[in-house]
Amino acid sequence: MTYCLGIKVKEGLVAISDTRITTGTDTTVKKKITIIQKEHYSLFVMTSGLRSVRDKALVYFDELLETEEFGKLYQAVNAFGQQVRRVADEDRATLEKNGFKFDLHTIIGGQLKDDEEHKLFLLYPEGNWVELGLGAPFVVIGNSGHGKAILNRVLNEDSDMKLALKAGFLSFDSTRVSSNNVDFPIDVALYKKGTFELVEQRFTQKEMAAISDQWDEELKNALANIPGEWMDKAFKKLPE
């Protein structure tokens, strides 16, 4: 399992990915976000699913980029989807015969030279995709059930990138404490609209420990400060 989050706000894009790879009882750290940066050409790719499928699709995609040039991000997304279908044609039967489900969900974000603004896409294992608009400012793939609450409550299209990253980290942290297959370090990619320059940063558990601890305390204090009088009529029904 994994945790990958893409956020689109008016100011730009924020991407967060954990790095834990679990194989049986073994755990390793591997990068799950790929950045492709050229002149007037900035995009990132994050995936959740079988590592072998991801690696093969990315190799095919990198090879395609040596000869193909895309002006708009959706064209690159289409091309990556074609590579996912190619891998499916080659490997699905063998994988499923051996008990593995062919599965690769992909988040692709960025801005290419002919795009009027930055874009964010979710690509499905079948190779089809949806574009995330400002009305739906984020998408999570992988272990997505634990960290959406804060994103739904806090983020909207007018949120700035710092708030998006802060909320994104807390979403990851909520997932991490609820799941043993999502963990530090995390990789962060940031893109500001119209700059055609992606930046990347890795954060370790040691670096973020104080923020995690503060968030724990803030949650406990917030819960303690919520009035409790509304519960009285229910608890009064309990026998003495």
Inter-CA distances, 67 with 25, 129, 194, 221, Å = 41, 23, 25, 57
Binned average pLDDT, 10 residues per bin, the chain of 240 residues: 94 96 79 96 96 96 96 98 97 95 96 98 96 89 90 95 98 92 96 98 98 96 97 95
How far apart CA 104 and CA 107 sit, in angstroms, is 10
- Please state whether 103 falls in left (phi above 0), alpha (psi between -120 and 50) or beta: beta
pLDDT of residue 134: 66
Residue identified by tokens 């834990």 is 20
Burial of 141 (0-12, 13-18, 19+ CB in 10 A): buried
pLDDT of residue 145: 81
CA dihedral 4, 5, 6, 10 (to 10 degrees): -160
pLDDT of residue 42: 98
Overall residue count recorded for the chain in this entry: 240
pLDDT of residue 136: 85
Q: What is the DSSP letter of 104?
A: E
CB proximity list for 189: less than 8 A, separation 6 or greater: 13, 14, 15, 33, 35, 44, 198, 199, 200
Inter-CA distances, 215 with 40, 138, 174, Å = 38, 21, 10
pLDDT of residue 133: 83
Burial of 218 (0-12, 13-18, 19+ CB in 10 A): exposed
Contact 172, 16 (CB under 8 A): yes
